[in-house]
Homo-oligomer: A and B are copies of this chain.
Amino acid sequence: MSNYHHGDVRNTLLQQAETILHQEGPGGLTLRRLARLTGISEAAPYRHFDGKDGILAAVAIAAFDRFADRLQQVASQHADHRDRVMALGAAYVGFALDHPQHFRLIFGRERPPLDQYPDLREAADNAFDVLQRAVTAIDRRADMTLTEAATAYNRALAAWSRAHGIATLLIDGMIVPPADQDIEAFILGLLSEDLTAPSA
């Protein structure tokens, strides 16, 4: 008799986890609920994952991968350096707005510790590599001085933290985009604002 789900229990659990995460955030995600939805006993998930953190890690890896894919695709569509940095920033914030729960999962506190899940660390590193390569690409010249290289790196960090701050404040509702303006334009405006220029 084949009461076994064979290989699909793992995938079913992951899909249910994705659904709950999307609808209610990490708070509503409990192992017992996942087991109930999948139609297995409450201890069964432990045969497929390393407890709750194991499931969260798997979901986070998928989220990191989709994030990286989106960034990579946007980066490849812009040849000009400045265009690319701006488009990347917009894509970064766009991902956060489209998938706020995934964004929170991969950057928030319920993300399992990277040093306990090597695959998760790899997925995270990969996403940030995509980002950093795209931002610093044009500055990667052989005849670069050390300070020039440091400047390029700092630029990447600055661009990253800018996008990250906007994304975080937006999905937490602390910044509300103006209703009369295109959101994309609003984001690009915030990204490119030059604080060093004289005011008015």
By a beta-carbon cutoff of 8 Å, the part of chain A in contact with chain B is 25-27, 81-82, 85-86, 104, 107-109, 128, 138-139, 141, 148, 151-152, 154-155, 157-166, 168-169, 172, 174-175, 189-197, 199-200
Which of A161, A174, A175, A196 is packed against the most chain B CB atoms within 10 Å? A161
Query: Contacting A164 at CB < 8 Å: which of B148, B165, B195?
Result: B165
Contacts of A155 in B (CB 8 A): 193, 195, 199
Pairwise interchain contact B193-A154, C-beta atoms closer than 8 A: yes
> Contact between B196 and A175 (Cβ–Cβ < 8 Å)?
no
A-B residue pairs in contact (CB < 8 Å), sample of 18: A138-B200, A154-B189, A154-B190, A155-B193, A157-B190, A158-B189, A158-B193, A159-B195, A160-B165, A160-B169, A161-B169, A161-B175, A162-B162, A163-B165, A164-B169, A191-B195, A192-B195, A194-B197
A103 to chain B, nearest CB (A): 12
How many whole Å from A151's CB to the nearest CB in chain B?
8
Q: A82-B199, A138-B199 are in contact. List 7 more A-B contacts (CB 8 A).
A: A82-B196, A139-B200, A141-B200, A148-B200, A161-B165, A161-B175, A161-B190
Q: Number of copies of this chain in the oligomer?
A: 2
Smallest Cβ-Cβ distance to A81: which chain B residue: B199
Shortest C-beta distance, A120 to chain B (Å), equals: 14
